[in-house]
């Protein structure tokens, strides 16, 4: 891992352990430049699709993380990325030969951004090559696969992180700070709505074999994860109901719309909607005995907007993937601890909940959760 000197710190977020400062201090901490002179995480991106491109572009503003390699099954994409990001030929791999990264000292970590069903095998191969892994969410298509990925990374003594970008988003972290400080009082209710009308019916997200499901695996997971970090507890049970209006597009095993409910040990109840057939769903609402928080949009690429009983959330917008990669570099290189975990165990909890939601929708029963 090398160093890059004389770069301005464009993002004032300190590595992972973000200070709980007043609102006025957030703006200053985010925009005040400082010189960074330290280790840099050298990353190869696996999967050069739309989101991979978004991450790559965002990383151009990073000082602690640098894009140095690519892994793809499409030679033309590799060539385009080489030209755009000045990636050397020796750091380019395909899906058959990327195990050879074990002999490449210029790559520290691989960010796996491929269809959900491919994560399991690809993450394990990266771990066996001795490289740290960042895996896009959902980390796998079943809890069994997720556990095997965690075990493989532990055996190889490499870190496994999951791409939960919202765990570093300033307005989200302010709501968590307020909750921790007791400013909402006892939390009584959470509502999470995540969804949109999906486009191309031939895309992999509507293929059960590649996606592992439908809207729940792609967008509903945001609401699940959001309730956990906003309430600050793990759910105890789940009930669910599925609605399917277009079985031609949403075939067997690919959920179109699911409404589900969860209960938490402190007494809070939560209501959720996950859909691939309803637009304008990107809202979180938290209600406590002393106050509330509402975020809309709550998980989009930004800017996130929110308000509480104390007024509008005013933390400045920063590109989510830039902050995410800066903070993940701090976790991997410096052992930083994030306010909200992004490790494999965090990803596994969401997979266990999703599995229970599918079971509840299928059986009509209330399913207990043990996370």
Instruction: Indicate the burial class of 343 (C-beta count within 10 angstroms; 0-12, 13-18, 19 or more).
Output: middle
Q: Other C-beta atoms within 10 Å of 155: how many? A: 11
| Element housing 349 (H / E) | helix 344-363
- Active-site residue (options: 137, 159, 349, 352): 137
Active site residue 171: no
Residues 6+ apart with CB under 8 A from 97: none
Say how far apart CA 318 and CA 31 lie, in whole Å.
Answer: 10
> If we measure between CA atoms, which residue out of 45, 44, 40, 31 comes closest to residue 64?
40
Pairing of strands 187-195, 257-263: unpaired
Is the separation of the CB atoms in 119 and 140 below 8 Å? yes
Query: Per this entry, what is the length of the chain?
Result: 371
Is the separation of the CB atoms in 294 and 307 below 8 Å? yes
Cα atoms in the Cβ-side hemisphere of radius 13 Å centred on 74: 9
Residues 6+ apart with CB under 8 A from 118: 112, 210
The three-class DSSP label of residue 365 is: coil
Residues 6+ apart with CB under 8 A from 67: 43, 44, 45, 56, 59, 60, 85, 87
Is the separation of the CB atoms in 281 and 273 below 8 Å? yes
- Active-site residue (options: 222, 272, 276, 358): 222
Cα atoms in the Cβ-side hemisphere of radius 13 Å centred on 275: 21
The three-class DSSP label of residue 46 is: strand
> If we measure between CA atoms, which residue out of 145, 169, 201 comes closest to residue 300?
169
Say how far apart CA 113 and CA 124 lie, in whole Å.
Answer: 14
Active site residue 305: no
Is the separation of the CB atoms in 336 and 343 below 8 Å? no
Active site (catalytic) residues: 137, 222
């Amino acid at each position: 891992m090398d160093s890059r000197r004389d770069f301005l710190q464009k993002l004032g977020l300190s590595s992972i352990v973000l200070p709980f400062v007043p609102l006025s201090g957030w703006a200053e901490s985010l925009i005040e430049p400082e010189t960074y002179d330290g280790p840099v995480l050298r990353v190869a991106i696996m999967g050069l699709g739309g989101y991979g491109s978004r991450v790559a572009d965002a990383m151009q503003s990073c000082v602690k993380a640098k894009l140095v390699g690519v892994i793809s099954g499409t030679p033309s994409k590799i060539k385009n990325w080489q030209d755009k990001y000045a990636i050397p030929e020796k750091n380019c791999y395909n899906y058959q030969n990327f195990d050879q990264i074990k002999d490449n000292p210029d790559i520290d970590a691989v960010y796996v951004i491929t269809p959900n069903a491919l994560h399991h095998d690809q993450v394990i191969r990266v771990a066996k090559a001795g490289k740290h892994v960042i895996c896009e969410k959902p980390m796998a298509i079943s809890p069994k696969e997720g556990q095997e990925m965690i075990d493989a990374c532990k055996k190889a003594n490499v870190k496994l992180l999951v791409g939960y970008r919202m765990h570093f988003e300033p307005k989200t972290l302010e709501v968590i700070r307020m909750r921790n400080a007791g400013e909402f009082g006892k939390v009584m209710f959470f509502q999470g709505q995540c969804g949109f009308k999906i486009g191309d019916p031939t895309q992999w997200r509507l293929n059960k074999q590649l996606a592992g499901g439908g809207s729940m695996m792609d967008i509903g997971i945001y609401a699940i994860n959001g309730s956990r970090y906003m309430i600050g507890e793990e759910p105890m049970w789940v009930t669910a109901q599925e609605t399917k209006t277009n079985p031609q597009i949403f075939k067997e095993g690919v959920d179109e719309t699911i409404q589900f409910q969860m209960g938490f040990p402190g007494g809070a109840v939560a209501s959720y909607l996950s859909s691939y057939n309803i637009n304008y769903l990107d809202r979180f609402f938290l209600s406590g005995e002393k106050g509330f928080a509402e975020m809309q949009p709550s998980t989009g690429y930004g800017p996130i907007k929110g308000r509480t009983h104390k007024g509008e959330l005013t933390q400045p917008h920063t590109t989510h993937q830039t902050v995410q990669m800066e903070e993940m570099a701090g976790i991997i290189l410096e052992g930083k601890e994030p306010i909200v975990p992004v490790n494999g165990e965090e990803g596994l909890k969401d997979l266990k909940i999703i599995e229970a939601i599918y079971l509840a929708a299928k059986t009509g029963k209330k399913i207990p959760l043990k996370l």
